[in-house]
Amino acid sequence: MEPLPLTEPVLLVLLSLAEQPRHGYSILKDVERMSDGRVRLSTGTLYGALRRLLDAAWIERVKEDESPRDRRPYRLTSRGRRNLQLEVERMRHLTKLAALRTARKEA
Amino acid sequence: MLTLYRWLLYLYPPVYWREYRDEMVSVFRDAHTDASAGTLRDRISFRVREASGLLAGAVREHVRIINGSDQLISIRRFTMRPEFRFPRSTVVLMLIIFAGVILAMEKANTVQVAYAAGADSIWPSTPWFFGLVLLLACASAVAVWGLLFALKRTGADRLADIQPGPNRAD
């Protein structure tokens, strides 16, 4: 099971797959795009994260007979989507709290 | 570069590279093509990132296989018994204490030899004497601190706070 809170690379990988199934290179580019070039995953980091997420059944391989072995797409499972929503909710709560606290300090 | 990358993948456990090798090589090939079109800085940062990511990933996968889990926390402590855990720092502190004891024994041996040989003075000068006293005082302080720290990490200091529970009527 991937521990919560998620690390930024793992969170970005999940967000990338939340939109649509993607293969490795597509995830890599999407993560870079989402973070405005701030997060650039190496292949080692990417496949380490994918392996852990596969083990935890947060993602799965899309079974496409026509997809070549070196370009297998991944997608979120219902468990992965649920956990991603929980994490996003946790972050939303944290952001709200931070906004409240900092506003109070400035007032 | 691609050949080197393929070779480096052998650093991963066989079960891992059998599963992901083709995909990783394919992603690396595409990313390398992108990086090659960039500046020199992009190319260098790409190579550093890939090398460090690959090495860290290989270590992590080996640790996972040995440890049986991705949670490195479980190897931060030595489990002595299921209900008692020994902090890892204790090993370092015990080694320091052990080195201190060996040093003291060695010094005592030197003093004994010096007396037996009828030396006029075992202390060559006053600064040496004070220096040695200071060193021994520091070593003792570290040893005592180490013991107290190790005891605190084991939670022994909390034993005094235990309140007697209600008597069970069984």
At A93 the pLDDT is 94
Last residue of a domain, one of B22, B48, B73: B73
**From the CA of A55, how many Å to the nearest CA of chain B?**
11
Position with higher pLDDT, A54 vs B165: A54
Structural domain of B55: 2-73
- Region B9-34: mean pLDDT is 90
Render pLDDT for A6-20 as a digit per residue (tens, 0 to 9): 889 999 999 999 999
Sequence-separated (6 or more) residues with CB below 8 Å from residue B29: B2
Whether the predicted pLDDT of B168 surpasses 50: no
Q: Distance (Å) from the C-alpha of residue A70 to the closest C-alpha of chain B?
A: 4
| B42-54 burial code (b ≥16 CB/10 A, e <16) | eeeebeebbeebb
Confidence tier at B78 by pLDDT (50, 70, 90): very low
Interchain contact, B27 vs A51, CB within 8 Å? no
Q: Would you say residue B34 lies in a domain? A: yes
Chain A: closest CA distance from residue B23 (Å): 4
Instruction: Determine the residue of chain A that is closest to B24 in CA distance.
Output: A43
pLDDT at B142: 83
* Listed residues B55, B73, B91: the one ending a domain: B73
Are residues B82 and B25 part of one domain? no
Does B32 lie in the same domain as B64?
yes
B22 and A70 Cβ atoms separated by less than 8 Å: yes
Domain co-membership, B96 together with B53: no
Same domain, B148 and B96: yes
Q: Residues B131, B64: one domain?
A: no
Set of chain B residues whose Cβ sits within 8 Å of the Cβ of A72: 23
Give the A-side interface with B, CB within 8 Å.
3, 23-25, 28, 40-48, 50-52, 69-72
Residues B42, B87 share a domain = no
pLDDT band at B136 (very low <50, low <70, confident <90, very high): confident
The single residue listed with the structure tokens 């079974």 is: A63
Q: What single-letter DSSP state applies at residue A6? A: P
Q: Which of B40-49, B73-82, B156-165 is predicted with the least confidence, judged by mean pLDDT?
A: B73-82
Q: Which of B18, B40, B73 is the last residue of a domain?
A: B73
pLDDT at A30 (0 to 100): 95
The answer on B127 and B103 residing in a single domain is yes
In this complex, which of A3, A43, A48 lies closest to B27 when CB atoms are compared?
A43
pLDDT at B95: 80
Under 8 Å between Cβ of A49 and A13 = yes
Contact flag A44-B58 (C-beta cutoff 8 Å): yes
b/e B160-169 (16+ beta carbons within 10 angstroms → b)? eeeeeeeeee
Highest average pLDDT, of B50-59, B94-103, B114-123, B150-159, comes from B50-59
CB–CB of B53 and A24 under 8 A? Answer: no
pLDDT for res B82: 46
Residue in B28, B53, B61 closest to A45 by CB: B53
The full set of domain ranges for chain A reads 8-106
In a domain, B169, yes or no: no
**Three-state secondary-structure class, residue A42:** coil
Do both B94 and B68 map to the same domain?
A: no
Q: Which of A3, A25, A40 sits opposite B27 (nearest CB)?
A: A25
User: Which CATH architecture is the domain A8-106 placed in?
Assistant: Orthogonal Bundle (1.10)
The count of residues in chain B is: 170
Rounded to the nearest integer, the mean pLDDT of chain B is 76
pLDDT of residue A71: 83
- Given this model, what pLDDT does residue B75 score? 42
B96 in any annotated domain: yes
Please give the residue that has the higher pLDDT: either A70 or B138: B138
- The tens digit of pLDDT for each residue in A17-42 reads 999 999 999 999 999 999 998 999 99
pLDDT-based confidence at residue B123 (cuts at 50, 70, 90): low
* Predicted pLDDT at B76: 44
Phi, psi angle pair for B120, to nearest 5°: -65, -45
| pTM for the model | 0.61
Are B54 and A42 inside 8 Å of each other by CB?
yes
- Cross-chain Cβ contact B26/A51 below 8 Å: no
CA A13/CA A30 separation, integer angstroms:
8
- Total domains, chain B: 2
Q: Residues with Cβ < 8 Å from A30, sequence gap 6 or more?
A: A16, A19, A22
- Using a CB-CB distance cutoff of 8 angstroms, which residues of chain B are in contact with residue A25? 26-27, 30-31
- Residue B57 to chain A, least CA–CA distance (Å): 5
Question: Which of B44-53, B108-117, B161-170 is predicted least confidently?
Answer: B161-170
Whole-angstrom Cα Rg for chain A: 16
- The percentage of chain A sitting over the pLDDT mark of 90, rounded to a whole number, equals 74
Residue-wise pLDDT for A45-80, tens only, equals: 999 999 999 999 999 998 866 667 778 899 999 999
Same domain, B120 and B101: yes
Taking an 8 Å cut-off on Cβ atoms, the answer to whether B30 and A25 are in contact is yes
Q: Kindly state whether residue B35 falls inside one of the protein's structural domains.
A: yes
Picking from A16, A25, A26, A43 by the largest number of B CB atoms within 10 A of its own CB, the best residue to mutate is A43
Give the integer Cα–Cα distance in Å for A6 and B54. 21
